[in-house]
Chain A
Amino acid sequence: MRPRSRDRRLENAQEAAGNGLLDRRVFMKGGLGALATGAFMAFASTEAGAAGPPEIPAGMKIAGAPLSPYGSPATYEREVTRTLIRSQPGTTGAGASRTPLEALEGIITPSGLHFERHHNGVPAIDPAQHQLLIHGMVARPLVFTVASLLRYPMVSRIHFLECSGNSGAMYQPTPPALTCGQTHGLVSCSEWTGVPLRLLLAEAGVDPRADWILAEGADAAAMSRSVPMRKAMDDAMLALYQNGERLRPENGYPVRLFLPGYEGNMSVKWLRRIKVTDTPTMTKDETSRYTDLQGDGKSLMFTYPMEVKSLITRPAPGLRLTGPGLYELSGIAWSGHGKIRKVEVSADGGQSWAEAALSPPVLAHALTRFRIAWKWNGAPTVLKSRATDDAGHVQPTRDRLIAEHGANVIFHYNAIQAWGIESSGEVKNVYA
Chain B
Amino acid sequence: MSTREAFALASLIIAVGGCAGTTARETPALGRPATPAEIAGWDISIPPDGRGLPPGAGTSAEGALVYAQKCQACHGERGVGGPNDRLVGGQGTLASKAPVRTVGSYWPYATTVFDYVRRAMPFLQPHSLTDSEVYAVTAYLLSLNGIIREQDVMNAETLPKVKMPNRDNFVPVYPWKPMAP
Contact = CB atoms under 8 A, between A and B. Distances in A.
Interface of A: 88-91, 94, 119-120, 133-135, 139-145, 148-149, 151-153, 196, 198-208, 214, 216, 220-222, 224, 228, 230, 233, 272-273, 275, 277, 279-284, 287-288, 291, 293, 295-304, 337, 391-392, 407-408
B83 A204 contact: no
A216 B169 CA distance: 26
Given A282-B48, A287-B107, A302-B172, A135 B101 contact: no
Contacts of B74: 89-90
Interface stretch (B30-38, B54-62, B137-145, B147-155): B30-38
B34 A206 contact: no
Contacts of B97: 407-408
B20 A233 contact: yes
Given A144-B31, A153-B13, A282-B48, A293 B120 contact: no
Interface in B16-56: 16-17, 19-24, 27-34, 38-39, 42-49
B80 interface: no
A135 B39 contact: yes
Contacts of A222: 44, 119-120, 126
A172 B159 CA distance: 38
B84 interface: yes
A200 B34 CA distance: 14
B31 to A, nearest CB: 3
B34 A141 contact: yes
Contact of A142 (B33, B47, B94, B107): B33
A12 B28 CA distance: 62
A199 B16 contact: yes
Contacts of A208: 21
Given A153-B9, A203-B27, A224-B45, A288 B106 contact: yes
B12 interface: yes
A204 B29 CA distance: 9
A298 B169 contact: yes
Contacts of A134: 31
Interface string B117-148: 00110010010000000000000000000000
A90 B115 CA distance: 23
A303 to B, nearest CB: 5
A207 B47 CA distance: 18
Contacts of B94: 293, 297, 299
Given A90-B74, A408-B97, 8 more contacts: A142-B34, A144-B30, A202-B16, A222-B119, A279-B47, A282-B108, A297-B95, A298-B170
Contacts of A120: 120, 123, 126
A208 B21 CA distance: 7
Contacts of A144: 30-32
Contacts of B33: 140-143
A94 B120 CA distance: 12
Contacts of A202: 16, 19-22, 24, 27
A220 B122 CA distance: 10
Contacts of B179: 337, 391-392
B170 A287 contact: yes
A299 B107 contact: no
Contacts of B83: 88-90
14 contacts: A89-B74, A135-B39, A144-B32, A196-B17, A200-B31, A202-B21, A206-B20, A221-B119, A230-B175, A282-B109, A283-B112, A284-B115, A293-B94, A293-B99
B74 to A, nearest CB: 6
The 8 A-B pairs at the shortest CB distance, nearest first, are namely A142-B31, A297-B95, A148-B30, A89-B83, A302-B174, A222-B119, A297-B94, A202-B24
A375 to B, nearest CB: 38
Given A133-B38, A293-B94, A143 B31 contact: yes
A88 B84 contact: yes
Contact of B112 (A142, A153, A200, A287): A287
B1 to A, nearest CB: 11
Nearest to B29: A203
A298 B33 CA distance: 44
| Residue with the highest number of chain B CB atoms closer than 10 Å, among A134, A149, A204, A282 | A282
A409 B34 CA distance: 42
A119 B126 CA distance: 12
